[in-house]
Amino acid sequence: MVDERHPLREFDVSRPNVARMYDYYLGGKNHFPADRAAAEKVIAISRGHVREAVRENRDFLGRAVRFLAREAGVRGFLDLGAGLPTQGNVHEVALAAAPDAQVVYVDNDPVVATHGRALLATTPQVSFLEADLRRPDEVISALPAAFALDRPVGVLMVSCLHFVSDQEDPWGLVAAYARALPSGSHIVISHLGSDAFPAEMAQGREVYGAANAMLEARPSASIVRLFDGLRVVDPGVVPLNEWRPAPDALPLRGASLPVLGGVGRVP
């Protein structure tokens, strides 16, 4: 049922959408023919490994959230560029680890907005904010009153900064959020790397050029720079499957995982 207080904005189903493509990679149901066609091109370019990469990304997100809740004592989670709700949502992982946690999802996509509002109906500790992560001052000022910044929080920038162009300065965005957070907060980042498969990344960029956001895979050195000014938690900025893997984690199907991630603590 559509919430009449927040009518759904019209959205273009004829143009591939990065959130819906991601949902398709994960085996979800919230996508349209244009999304599926574009996603299949990326699957072909990657010889199917993009699906492994997005699953590893999802698993990394869950491990990072559990680390913040159980070991770092974080109770407030701000998920930027959240994308479409799917299996293992941040609030599900956070609340399982810490029942008193608060979660705010942030995205500027109208489809994501609709699903985000549905979350509000059943989980009072979850809020949805329709905003652009590239405007940190606006995001921070619009946070609900229940999401207090008087204690450490966790900011999740998972698989979103590679949709921020160099001109939009992703390094400056991370720094801006870090400045707005209390000491002891953590920032979680995952980002697509270009080092291992430069030709495939260039082809993938062409596919995403027709979508609603350009893909900007970056060299590992540029990804590590995102953590400047933060105290990087062990084991550092590494391929996602190497960040505190579960004891029963399965080996990769591919030779390597071209997605790096890490967790940085705000001094």
- What is the pLDDT at residue 251? 84
- What is the pLDDT at residue 11? 66
Q: How many residues does the chain have?
A: 267
Q: How far apart are CA 113 and CA 31, in angstroms?
A: 15
- pLDDT at 6 > cutoff 60: no
pTM: 0.93
For the chain, the straight-line distance linking the first and the last C-alpha, in angstroms and rounded, comes to 45
Helix (H) or strand (E) holding 127: strand 126-130
Alpha helices in 98-192 (DSSP H): 110-122, 136-141, 170-180
- What is the pLDDT at residue 114? 79
pLDDT tens digit sequence for 55-64: 999 999 999 9
Q: Region 203-227: what's the mean pLDDT?
A: 95
Q: Region 29-36: what's the mean pLDDT?
A: 92
- pLDDT at 13 > cutoff 90: no
Average pLDDT of every residue of the chain: 91
User: Structural domains in the chain?
Assistant: 55-197+221-245+253-265 (3.40.50.150)
Q: How far apart are CA 217 and CA 60, in angstroms?
A: 18
- pLDDT at 117 > cutoff 90: no
